[in-house]
Amino acid sequence: MSADGNSPTSPLDMAALSKSSLDGSFEKCIKCTVCTVYCPVAKANPNYPGPKQSGPDGERVRRKDPALFDDYLKLCTNCKRCEIACPSGVNIGDIIAQAKLTNTEGGWKNSGAISPKRVRDYILSSTDLMGGMVANPLAKIVNKVVALKPIKVVMEKTIGVSAQRTFPKYAEQSFVSWYKKQEATQNQFERQVHYFHGCSVNYNMPELGHALVEVLNKMNIGVQIAKKAKCCGVPLVANGFKDKAMKNATANIEVYKDELERQPGTIIATSSSCSYMLSDEYDHVLGLDNEPFKKNLQFFSRYLINEFDAGNMPKLKPLNLTLAYHTPCHLERSGGVIYTLELLSRIPGINLIRLDPNCCGIAGTYGFKEENYETSQKIGSPVFKQIEESGCDYVITDCETCRWQVEMSTTKEVLHPIELLARALA
């Protein structure tokens, strides 16, 4: 029996395990510990044993008895830097993520008492629920309430959300609501792309989605969105909610099968973590056939560079700005950084400083938890210091949660590359 009371042969567990921790990649580990050297959590928190012990070493123990789950695995941020560093191709982050999925849902629905911190994890992971049903309709009120110091102290004392963390603001109008008024215009374009906008664009920063639509329309390309798309599942996997993660992933695969049948074309994403989840972790971690994404998904910067090189590039004006680019961990893991850097180089009047490729420390919901806050900030401190010393006008990054972390921890405003490109349109 697994730690959450499910049989190891249950369909859900076997579907997940068959593609990752059972693929034998942990056997490739040569115990060189280079993964631990590159692990930002191991550097910042001495309580974390590191990715080698948590991943391939721990997997050998868990195979003997799945109940031997180490709670220290929850300290892993899933930044994937261990996988980037590994010379043997061990899927260390995937192994740890699967161990969390298989073991951490216990105590949520199968035990008598529900931990307050498990309630917190559910709230932080339920982006569609909190954004769509609560935050957007009541954005002004919610934004004011969660910023009040007494409320933040209460949240920390009761459910363990750090009182020191600044919450991202919710938009009064979601991106999907805005898009409904644009849909007829978008349908007029002969060429179309599908846009997986994700939760942050939908509920927190719809202006990012507006910028993408503006840029693509300048290139005579219309934008389609799947109104029934769900959260990609990144926070659900990170917090061990396997049933909901599988449900969302399965729904998204079916939705985009239908969308592509209706309107063949490329799917693009502006979130580096959403993109990586859809294209890689649906397969590697959840064990699902993600063919619609595997064959058709491109990160926005790769798509735009291909269009530019084919002669479809909008006229741009000089911006005359000094920018500091922060590399998102998941974009580095997927190999997509080169396309964003090339995209930024095409904007005239840009002095680009590429920051050292360090993790900013927030890791989605990780940095919102009071037990992780100190580690989160310690991980990001080299990034914050370099930004402040850079003399930049803006910080640029492709990841929304990196944006929240940098804006909270420095004096600089952060822009997504697509927002910068929209500003440069002539």
Considering the entire predicted model, what is its pTM?
Answer: 0.90
Encoded amino acid at 256, one letter? Y
Tell me phi and psi for residue 73, to 5 degrees: -60, -25
Position 111 scores a pLDDT of 46
Write out residues in the chain with pLDDT < 50, as ranges. Answer: 1-23, 106-112
pLDDT at 135: 63
Distances (CA, A) of 146 to 120, 162, 260, 398, 423: 14, 12, 40, 26, 31
What are the Cα distances from residue 204, in Å, to 161, 355, 364?
19, 26, 14
| Predicted pLDDT at 3 | 34
Q: Which residues of 301-327 are buried (b: 16+ CB within 10 A; e: fewer)?
A: bbbbbebeeeeeebebeebebebbbbb
pLDDT tens-digit map of 358-401: 999 999 999 999 999 999 999 999 999 999 999 999 999 999 99
- How far apart (Å, rounded) are the C-alpha atoms in residues 322 and 121? 38
pLDDT at 115: 85
Q: List pLDDT tens digits, range 175-197.
A: 999 999 999 999 999 999 999 99
